[in-house]
Every structure is written in C-alpha cells, then in structure tokens.
C-alpha cells in the first residue's frame, strides 16, 4: 500500500481553504448547522452551492501530478481540519476530475480513514456512494471481497458503506453482494444500519420493485420495522 507522510502542521492548501471559508462564512448559519449535525467540530457556516464554488476556485490552482500529491493534499485537509466544511473540501478533492485515475483499490485505505474517523452520515454516505461505489464497479473482484469483509466489521460505518455503496447502480446492482452485505446487519438495532438497509432496498426498488417486495416479505420477521417500511416506501 502506498502511504505518504503528511505534516502535522497546517499545510499551505489547508490555510488557503480556511481563509477562503472564513471570509465568506456566516456565523449564524454555522451555529445552526453544528446543532443540526450534532457536530463537535464547528462550522464556518457556508451553503453547499457556495462551498462548491469555493472548491472550484481553489482546485483550479492545484496540479495533481501524481497519486502521492493527491493523497497528501486530501489527508492534509482531512487531518488538519478545524471546521467541518474543511473536511467537506477534502472529500470534494477526492472526486476532483483530475483525480479520476487515482480511483482504484489503492485509494481504499484513504477512504477507510475518512469513513472510520469521520464516523457520521454526512461524510460516510458521500464517500460510500460516490467513491467506494465507482471503485467497486471498476474493480469488482477485489472490491467485492473487501465489501463482504466490511459488512462484518465491528465498525458500524464500514458496515453501512458496504450496504449503500451500490445506491446508484440501478440495473447493474449486484444483488447477491447487496443481500450478503445486508445479512450481518439485518437484525441490528443500530439506527444507521437499519436506515442503510431500507435505503439500499428502496433505491433498488426503482429498478425491480417485485424483487424488493419479494425479499422484504421473505425476510419480514428479520428486518426491523424501519428497514421494512423504508424498503417498500415506493413499491
């Protein structure tokens, strides 16, 4: 696995990001966002559209000349962040268009760190569906093995990732993998796992409602009420 050292002090990129975000932040919005997200980390108070604009401006000046450069930039933002939006910028940089060649299984330790240390739905769901999912699509053999392992992890967020990583796959959904990833958590009392199961099934129901109905009814006694209702919401 390629790992590059990241400095403990704030990188020039992080300092620039922080300056830009502080300049346009709204303290009143920041307090509301922090309360809504139940976040220990404060916010600058920036809307999602405005944050995208800032990212576009900053990323235009970044040259991702290698996997290591990209990896270091992302980790410098993620690990050095003092405000939640700074971590949103780190996740946005993982999906920056020039970083597309780096979306391989070699990126999974990076995404695993974000998922495990982020440990909340705003970080995890974005990475699960928009980063882990595409790598699964492009590298099915190693990634299926990894998602099956994650589905049994002691870490709830890795389990959630394994369940929801195929959200955008539609007719390309690997049902066998989806059901296998649901199985270890099907009786879980964890809200975020119950929600993930229902969400994944509901999403696939847009493609094959009959199959989701069959699966949900066959497993009615094992699925939580929340997962069951969510799965059949649009059927």
The token duo for 180 is: 């296998």
Q: Are residues 148 and 83 in the same domain?
A: no
Q: How far apart are CA 171 and CA 175, in angstroms?
A: 10
Q: Are residues 90 and 142 in the same domain?
A: no
Quote the number of domains for the chain: 2
Of the candidates 12, 127, 30, which has an alpha carbon nearest to the alpha carbon of residue 80?
A: 12
Q: Which of 36, 67, 102 is the last residue of a domain?
A: 102
Task: Please indicate, yes or no, if residue 29 is contained in any of the structural domains.
Answer: yes
pLDDT reported for residue 134: 98
**List of residues 6+ apart from 196 with CB closer than 8 A:** 159, 160, 163, 164, 185
DSSP for 120-151, written as a single string: SHHHHHHHIIIIIHHHHHHSHHHHHHHHHHHH
Burial 65-97 (b: 16+ CB within 10 A, else e): eebeebbbbbbbbbbbbebbbbbbbbbbbbebe
Q: How far apart are CA 231 and CA 235, in angstroms?
A: 8
Of 1-10, 77-86, 154-163, the range with the lowest mean pLDDT is 1-10
Task: Please indicate, yes or no, if residue 114 is contained in any of the structural domains.
Answer: no
The token duo for 158 is: 């890795």
CATH of the domain at 142: 1.25.10.90
Tell me the average pLDDT across 110-124: 98
Q: How many beta carbons lie within 10 A of that of residue 189, not counting itself? A: 8
Q: How far apart are CA 42 and CA 139, in angstroms?
A: 37
Q: How far apart are CA 128 and CA 40, in angstroms?
A: 22
Task: Please indicate, yes or no, if residue 113 is contained in any of the structural domains.
Answer: no
Q: Are residues 191 and 129 in the same domain?
A: yes
Q: Model confidence at 5, in pLDDT bands (50, 70, 90)?
A: very low
Q: Are residues 129 and 186 in the same domain?
A: yes
User: Is pLDDT at 8 greater than 80 in this prediction?
Assistant: no
Tell me the average pLDDT across 57-77: 97
Indicate whether this model's pTM tops 0.85.
yes
pLDDT reported for residue 6: 42
User: Is pLDDT at 207 greater than 80 in this prediction?
Assistant: yes
User: Is pLDDT at 32 greater than 50 in this prediction?
Assistant: yes
Q: Model confidence at 3, in pLDDT bands (50, 70, 90)?
A: very low
Question: What CA–CA distances, in Å, run from 102 to 2, 6, 93, 110, 131?
Answer: 12, 18, 12, 11, 11
Residue found by looking up tokens 């000349």 in the block: 65
Domain that holds residue 231: 119-235
Task: Please indicate, yes or no, if residue 109 is contained in any of the structural domains.
Answer: no
Q: Are residues 84 and 195 in the same domain?
A: no
Q: Are residues 127 and 166 in the same domain?
A: yes
Q: Are residues 139 and 207 in the same domain?
A: yes
Task: Please indicate, yes or no, if residue 49 is contained in any of the structural domains.
Answer: yes
Task: Note the pLDDT tens digit of each residue in 208-235.
Answer: 999 999 999 999 999 999 999 999 998 9
Rounded to an integer, what is the distance from CA 27 to the centroid of its chain?
A: 26
Q: Are residues 75 and 149 in the same domain?
A: no
Q: Are residues 15 and 84 in the same domain?
A: yes
Q: How far apart are CA 132 and CA 167, in angstroms?
A: 11
Task: Please indicate, yes or no, if residue 112 is contained in any of the structural domains.
Answer: no
Q: Model confidence at 9, in pLDDT bands (50, 70, 90)?
A: confident
Q: Are residues 95 and 128 in the same domain?
A: no
């Amino acid at each position: 696995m390629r790992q590059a050292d990241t400095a403990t002090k704030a990188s020039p990129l992080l300092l620039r990001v922080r300056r830009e975000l502080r300049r346009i932040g709204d303290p009143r919005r920041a307090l509301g966002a922090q309360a809504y997200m139940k976040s220990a980390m404060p916010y600058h108070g920036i809307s999602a559209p405005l944050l995208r604009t800032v990212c576009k401006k900053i990323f235009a000046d970044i040259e991702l000349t290698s996997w290591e450069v990209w990896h270091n930039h992302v980790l410098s933002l993620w690990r050095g962040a003092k405000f939640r939006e700074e971590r949103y910028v780190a996740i946005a940089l993982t999906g920056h268009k020039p970083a597309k060649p780096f979306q391989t299984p070699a990126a999974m330790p990076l995404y695993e760190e974000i998922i495990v240390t982020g440990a909340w739905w705003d970080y995890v769901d974005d990475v699960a569906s928009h980063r882990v999912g595409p790598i699964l699509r492009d590298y099915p053999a190693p990634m299926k093995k990894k998602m099956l392992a994650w589905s049994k992890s002691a870490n709830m967020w890795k389990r959630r990732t394994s369940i929801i990583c195929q959200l955008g796959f539609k007719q390309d959904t690997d049902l066998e993998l989806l059901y296998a990833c649901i199985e270890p958590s099907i009786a879980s009392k964890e809200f975020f796992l119950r929600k993930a199961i229902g969400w994944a099934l509901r999403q696939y129901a847009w493609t094959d409602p009959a199959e989701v109905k069959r699966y949900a009814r066959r497993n009615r006694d094992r699925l939580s009420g929340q997962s069951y209702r969510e799965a059949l919401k649009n059927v």
